[in-house]
Amino acid sequence: MSERAAPVTGAGQRPSLNPAALSVADAALVLTRLGGGPVTEELIEADLEAGAPTNADGSINLVHYAAWLVREMGRRGD
């Protein structure tokens, strides 16, 4: 079983996030900071249970997730 390596950063720098492979917690943080309102981990988990795509390792690709959300909005007529 392989372990995920921690991001490499210089002194005083924050680790970078990969928008193609985010944890649910990181996706919620990024979407809350970029969006118009709070996005919770529970909201994302509910979307995952409803069929939102994940990578093979369970991480979230923000582009694929956003495309799924747009498709779902179209189906509901939002």
**How high is the pLDDT of residue 72?**
95
Phi/psi for 57 (5° steps) reads -90, 5
Residue 22: strand, helix, or coil: strand
Which phi-psi region, left, alpha or beta, contains residue 51 (left: φ > 0; alpha: ψ -120 to 50)? left
Distance CA 78, CA 75 (A): 8
Residue 27: its pLDDT value, please?
Answer: 97
Does 31 fall in a domain?
A: yes
Q: Is residue 50 part of a domain?
A: yes
Residue 36: predicted pLDDT:
82
Tens of each residue's pLDDT in the chain, 78 residues: 334 445 555 566 777 899 999 999 999 999 999 988 999 999 999 999 999 999 999 999 999 999 999 999 999 886
Q: Which domain holds residue 53?
A: 24-76
Question: 3-state DSSP: the chain helix, strand, coil percent, rounded to 5?
Answer: 45, 5, 55
Q: Answer yes or no: is 13 within a domain.
A: no
Residue 62 within a domain: yes
pLDDT the model gives residue 49: 98
Domain-located, residue 51: yes
Looking at the 3D structure of the chain, how many domains does it have?
1
- Please indicate, yes or no, if residue 7 is contained in any of the structural domains: no
Task: Say what the pTM is.
Answer: 0.76
Could you tell me if residue 52 is inside a domain?
Answer: yes
Of residues 72, 68, 58, 69, the one with CA closest to residue 26? 58
The answer to whether residue 4 is domain-embedded is: no
